[in-house]
């Protein structure tokens, strides 16, 4: 029976891999690409971490998973809640493998909190608010993991503001800390791989994404052959050394990363330059499609939210005791209809709005949205056409080129039972190189509609952002070889893993197996020699697993802000 190891590299891109491989700096990546199969792996549109990883492990598009962004509207409200495994739909590939008696280990994959029971081990990823009792299955393994990796942490604590304000050399210190986090990720993977001969091992290394968001500008200059200053060279090398550290593990004898067996190396999206940000809701407001609350009301709303947060933080202990005792949370009242990211929007007089930082537009539809203003398909088409016309007029203020590459209508990107809740229009700004400003308060701060990225390195701000073109390298089994470049989709990876494991195809999958031929000897029946899972996990999230508490949501929002997503 075939076994599969998946090494997910968040944000990895062939533009860096090919540059380093050409210079002989990635011998093991080069070896695997030469003897296996290489493909550009297309991410979701927009290319965002949450929906991309969800589509990877369920084999389905966001219209079935329910994840198109980091957040979703809480049903029946304008309240934004973070996506996690508790509100995601679809069956992970590791659950299917476990049902067939395969032993699985899952580490650090985003959108896996709270950790559901598996036939093996599952350690949640980025969406876990902390390494609490719901972030690992089985819970009794937590002590063993911390004993083996004492410095284990689920998330990199990106204290950029603290470093900028308190440290004499914030950039070098930031790089040092992130290198330590990468080393911890690698040691954790090595420890988990060594526990047993897993049938399916799935892991994600998040460090490439974090390095690249901040240091992309200099990495890109190095790739293009531009002359670099000493500081620019330091920053570019930090990105390159991240890839080299991973490459060393791919060739380490006995590490298990890919010396033997079937290996899948993949990323959730690629990377490229961040050209700037755009106040998309202001564009819609100027076109008469969106209305902001008057200044006086905006101030009252922000003051209300500030006091509400202060009150919540000062009573955290009391709230935890209440939840422990099983008492219900107090009614949030009208505050469930607002969120700090969209609290300045007057929904009663708005027909379409941009939500989040990736060009997702939602029409305010009667019957679907609490204060809907658009009542018919014909009116909706007129609203979308007017929005497209207004946004199409945007020009890059530095070179005069059009900022819009393409508009995607909902039907082009999403299908399935949850498609109605997906964005009605997605805007691709110059190959995803412009990001909409996140948060109406920032949009209304008096600055220009189109803004350049922060230039001061000491601010540790983003200089790079996501692209759809990720990486996929397949090596090991028959049918995985072949040097010709190819293109695959995120939803193709789960069917490919299933084929390697001899699992039957799932009707709901949107993808296809990438193998040239079936793997000889694989069977679609459970392996009787493997221990059975402790009860087959159902097709959707068990109802008794907890959702985020209010404190959990605060922690996740803070982390996303520290990482530059909010």
pLDDT digits (tens, 9 = 90+) for 111-128: 999 999 999 999 999 999
- Compute how many other C-beta atoms are within 10 angstroms of the C-beta atom of residue 150: 8
The separation between the first and the last C-alpha atoms of the chain, rounded to the nearest angstrom, is 45
- Residue ranges of the alpha helices (H) in 364-491? 377-392, 410-413, 440-443
- Of the pLDDT bands very low, low, confident and very high (cuts 50, 70, 90), residue 331 is very low
Distance, CA of 324 to CA of 339 (rounded, Å)? 27
Which residue reads 């080069």 in tokens? 30
Contact in structure between 560 and 566 (CB atoms under 8 Å): yes
> What pLDDT score was predicted for residue 337?
39
| Residue 356 pLDDT grade (very low, low, confident, very high; cuts 50, 70, 90) | confident
pLDDT category at 167 given cuts 50, 70, 90 is confident
What pLDDT score does 510 carry?
97
Q: What is the DSSP letter of 76?
A: T
Q: How far apart are CA 418 and CA 420, in angstroms?
A: 5
pLDDT score at 548: 75
The fold of the 4-274+465-562 domain, in CATH, is Alkaline Phosphatase, subunit A (3.40.720)
Q: What is the pLDDT of residue 563?
A: 64
Mean pLDDT, all residues of the chain: 86
Q: What pLDDT, on a 0 to 100 scale, did the predictor assign at position 471?
A: 98
What is the pLDDT at residue 334?
33
Tell me what the mean pLDDT of segment 18-45 comes to: 95
* Predicted pLDDT of residue 555: 75
Asked whether 216 and 453 are in contact (CB, 8 A), the reply is no
In tens, the pLDDT along 383-421 reads 999 999 999 999 999 999 999 999 999 999 999 999 999
Which range has the worst mean pLDDT, 347-361, 496-510, 539-553? 539-553
**What is the Cα–Cα distance from 300 to 307, expressed in whole angstroms?**
11
**CA 203 centroid distance within chain:** 14
Higher pLDDT, 492 or 554: 492
Name the nearest CA neighbour of 438 among 362, 354, 522: 354
pLDDT at 317 over 50: no
Residues 36, 473: Cα–Cα separation, whole Å: 7
Distance CA 246, CA 441 (A): 40
Is the CB of residue 529 less than 8 Å from the CB of residue 114?
A: no
Percent helix, strand, coil in the chain (nearest 5)? 40, 20, 45
pLDDT for residue 565 is more than 70? no
pLDDT 10s digits, 47-96: 999 999 999 999 999 999 999 998 888 888 888 888 899 999 999 999 99
Residue 455: DSSP 8-state: -
The encoded tokens of residue 535 equal 């009860």
Confidence class for position 486, pLDDT limits 50, 70, 90:
confident
Lowest-pLDDT choice from 236-240, 359-363, 516-520, 536-540: 536-540
Q: Do the bridges between strand 80-82 and strand 71-73 make them parallel or antiparallel, or are there none, so unpaired? A: antiparallel
Cα-to-chain-centroid distance, residue 81: 15
What is the domain partition of the chain in residue ranges? 4-274+465-562, 276-292+344-452
Give the pLDDT of residue 306. 59
Nearby residues of 306 by Cβ (< 8 Å), 6 or more positions away: none
Confidence of residue 257 (pLDDT cuts 50, 70, 90): confident
H or E element at residue 49: helix 49-58
According to CATH, what is the number of the domain 276-292+344-452?
Answer: 3.30.1360
- Three-state DSSP at 107 gives strand
Kindly state the average pLDDT of the residues 327-347: 57
Please give the residue that has the higher pLDDT: either 239 or 556: 239
Give residues with Cβ within 8 angstroms of 407, minimum separation 6: 388, 391, 425, 426, 427, 428
**Distance separating alpha carbons of residues 331 and 259, to the nearest angstrom:** 56
In degrees, rounded to 5, the angle at the alpha carbon of residue 246 between the alpha carbons of residues 170 and 465 is 55
Q: Which residue has the tokens 């540790």?
A: 460
With beta carbons less than 8 A apart as the criterion, state whether 337 and 77 touch: yes
Instruction: Report the pLDDT value the prediction gives residue 301, as an integer from 0 to 100.
Output: 60
Interval 27-56 mean pLDDT = 95
Q: In angstroms, rounded to a whole number, what is the distance separating the alpha carbons of residues 435 and 427?
A: 10
Total Cβ atoms within 10 A of residue 128: 26
Instruction: Enumerate helices (H) and strands (E) in the chain, giving the number of each.
Output: 18, 20
Whether residue 299 has pLDDT greater than 70? no
DSSP state letter for 277: E
Ramachandran quadrant class, 108 (left: phi over 0; alpha: psi -120 to 50; beta: rest): left
User: Residue 416: CA atoms inside 13 Å, Cβ hemisphere, count?
Assistant: 22
3-state secondary structure of 63: helix
Instruction: List, as one string, the DSSP characters of 333-378.
Output: GGGGG--TTTTTB-GGG-SEEEETTTTEEEE-BBTTBTT--B-SHH
Q: Does pTM top 0.85 for this prediction?
A: yes
Q: Once rounded to an integer, what is the mean pLDDT over residues 191-206?
A: 96
Is the pLDDT at 340 greater than 90? The verdict is no
CB 240 within 8 A of CB 20: yes
> Is the pLDDT assigned to residue 12 strictly greater than 70?
yes
Residue 528 pLDDT exceeds 90 = no
Question: Which of the two residues, 493 and 259, has the higher pLDDT score?
Answer: 493
Peptide bond into 292 cis (omega under 30): no
């Amino acid at each position: 029976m075939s076994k599969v190891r998946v090494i997910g590299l968040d944000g990895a891109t062939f533009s860096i891999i090919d540059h380093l491989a050409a210079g002989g700096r990635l011998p093991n990546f080069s070896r695997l690409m030469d003897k296996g199969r290489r493909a550009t792996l297309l991410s979701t549109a927009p290319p965002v971490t949450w929906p991309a990883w969800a589509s990877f492990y369920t084999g389905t598009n966001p219209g079935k998973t329910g994840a198109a962004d980091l957040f979703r509207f809480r049903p029946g409200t304008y309240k934004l809640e973070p996506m996690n495994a508790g509100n995601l739909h679809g069956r992970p590939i590791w659950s299917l493998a476990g049902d067939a008696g395969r032993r699985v280990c899952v580490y650090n994959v985003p959108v896996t909190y709270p950790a559901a029971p598996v036939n093996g081990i599952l350690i949640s990823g980025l969406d876990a608010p902390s390494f609490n009792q719901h972030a690992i299955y089985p819970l009794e393994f937590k002590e063993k993991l911390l004993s083996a990796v004492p410095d284990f942490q689920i998330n990199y604590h990106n204290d950029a503001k603290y470093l900028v304000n308190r440290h004499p050399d914030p950039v070098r210190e930031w790089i040092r800390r992130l290198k330590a986090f990468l080393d911890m990720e690698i040691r954790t993977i090595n420890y988990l791989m060594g526990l047993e001969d897993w049938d399916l091992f799935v892991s994600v290394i998040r460090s490439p994404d974090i390095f690249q968001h901040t240091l992309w500008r200099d990495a890109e200059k190095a790739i293009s052959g531009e002359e670099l200053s000493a500081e620019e060279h330091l920053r570019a090398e930090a990105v390159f050394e991240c890839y080299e550290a991973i490459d060393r593990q791919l060739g380490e004898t006995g590490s298990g990363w890919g010396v033997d067996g079937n290996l899948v190396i993949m990323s959730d999206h690629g990377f490229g330059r961040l050209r700037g940000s755009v106040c998309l809701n202001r564009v819609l407001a100027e076109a008469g499609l969106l209305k902001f609350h008057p200044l006086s009301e905006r101030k009252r709303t922000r003051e209300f939210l500030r006091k509400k947060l202060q009150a919540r933080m000062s009573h955290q202990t009391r709230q935890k005791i209440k939840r422990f005792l099983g008492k219900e949370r107090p009614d949030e009242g009208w505050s469930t209809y607002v969120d700090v990211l969209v609290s300045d929007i007057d929904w009663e007089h708005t027909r379409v709005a941009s939500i989040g930082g990736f060009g997702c537009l939602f029409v305010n539809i009667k019957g679907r949205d609490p204060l809907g203003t658009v009542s018919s398909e014909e009116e909706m088409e007129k609203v979308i056409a007017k929005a497209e016309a207004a946004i199409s007029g945007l020009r890059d203020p530095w070179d005069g080129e059009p900022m819009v590459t393409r508009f995607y209508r909902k039907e082009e990107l999403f299908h399935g039972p949850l498609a109605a809740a997906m964005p009605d229009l997605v805007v691709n700004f110059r190959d995803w190189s412009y990001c909409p400003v996140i948060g109406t308060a920032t949009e209304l701060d008096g600055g220009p509609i189109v803004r350049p990225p922060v230039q001061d390195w000491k601010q540790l701000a983003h200089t790079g952002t996501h692209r759809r073109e990720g990486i996929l390298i397949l090596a090991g089994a028959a049918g995985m070889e072949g040097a010709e470049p190819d293109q695959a989709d995120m939803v193709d990876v789960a069917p490919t893993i299933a084929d390697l494991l001899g699992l039957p195809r799932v009707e709901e999958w949107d993808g296809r197996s990438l193998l040239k031929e079936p793997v000889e000897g694989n069977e679609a029946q459970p392996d009787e020699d493997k221990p059975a899972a402790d009860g087959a996990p159902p097709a959707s999230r068990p109802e008794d697993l907890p959702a985020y508490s209010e404190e959990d949501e605060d922690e996740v929002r803070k982390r996303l802000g520290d990482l530059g997503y909010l």
